[in-house]
Amino acid sequence: MIKYTDPMFKANELAGKTIIVTGGGTGLGRSMVKYFMTIGAKVIICSRKDDVLQQSAKELREETGGEILAVQCDVRKPLEVDEVLRQAIEKFGEVNGLINNAAGNFISPTEKLSPKAFDVVVDIVLKGSYNFSLALGKYWIENKIKGTMMNIVTTYAWTGSGYVVPSACAKAGVLALTRSLAAEWSKYGIRANAIAPGPFPTEGAFSRLFPESVLNDIDPLQRIPAKRFGEHQELANLAGYLMSDYSAYMNGEVVTIDAAEWIYNAGEFTLMDKVPAESWDEIAKHVRGKK
């Protein structure tokens, strides 16, 4: 029997794919990269911390036997983005996939933010995503490459969220970017989709969003009806599908992977699941037959 933590694809389903994953040296990016390498993709990872990148690349090479290139890059800087693409083409000949995964985020009451604090998150998330999308899009169109792009957003890209307002604004922008480019570049055979994950434990996210001091007051698991966080392989499986040719007819889509977390908390009457099952017959006596 299969388990949800099992890799979905088993063989070389991503053979022939060469994929840039921004922020691919840590967290969810690293998990996607590892899986992609095991199913035949060549991968380029980039982020600011070169030591972390090179160490991850070394480990991933050893763990998977796959091919990987690590290039230091701040996604906010277009010239550094161009350099990642140049080095990737030099090493692998062609790049046909992009995952905009790099992000910056932290919790704060919005009134405590400085303009620079707002900028830093929006610049990494939104500017970083459009810098890479523009560089790859121009290259794909010019070279008639049917590239596939996938952007990691969040469920609050459409609901909004207090305490992470710069991230919410930026992710909403990335979602608009995804849908807009899907519409405009479909004629070139370029696809753009997005994944909106609920909480998946990573050092980068959880240390900034759910620090110990906050966990005294709130329990993020209570928001999730399944009462568990996501497993990295679950997200990697979905990402593998969206980057593969199996999803050729999917374009401009955002796929939520959160065990119904956002809908659960948005639904007016979802709290009724706190009513004990044995109470419903009694409740029905008061409710039924009301004219």
Nearest residue (CB) to ligand NAP, 179 versus 189: 179
| Placement of tokens 């995804």 in the chain | 178
Task: Please say if 163 is a catalytic residue.
Answer: no
**How many CA atoms does the CB half-sphere of 19 hold within 13 Å?**
33
Q: 163-202 mask for ligand NAP (x: CB under 6 A)?
A: ----------------------------------x-xx-x
- Bridge partners of 45, per DSSP, are 21, 70
21 lies in the site for ligand NAP, by CB under 6 A: no
204 lies in the site for ligand HXC, by CB under 6 A: yes
In the list ligand NAP, ligand HXC, none, the entry touching 52 (Cβ below 5 to 8 angstroms by class) is: ligand NAP
In the list ligand NAP, ligand HXC, none, the entry touching 75 (Cβ below 5 to 8 angstroms by class) is: ligand NAP
Q: 125-144 mask for ligand NAP (x: CB under 6 A)?
A: ---x----------------
Tokens standing for residue 125: 């998330």
Which of 8, 52, 89, 117 is close enough to bind ligand HXC by CB under 6 A?
A: 117
75 lies in the site for ligand NAP, by CB under 6 A: yes
For Cα atoms 101, 105, 110, give the angle at the middle one, nearest 5 degrees.
145
**How far, in Å, CA of 155 to CA of 175, rounded?**
10
Q: Look at residues 95, 178, 172, 176 and name the one whose alpha carbon lies nearest to residue 135.
A: 95
254 lies in the site for ligand HXC, by CB under 6 A: no
Contact footprint for ligand HXC (CB under 6 A): 103-106, 108, 112-114, 116-117, 120-121, 154, 167, 199, 204-205, 208-209
- Which residues are designated catalytic? 156
Contact footprint for ligand NAP (CB under 6 A): 22-23, 25-29, 47-49, 52, 73-76, 101-104, 124, 128, 152, 154, 197, 199-200, 202, 204-205
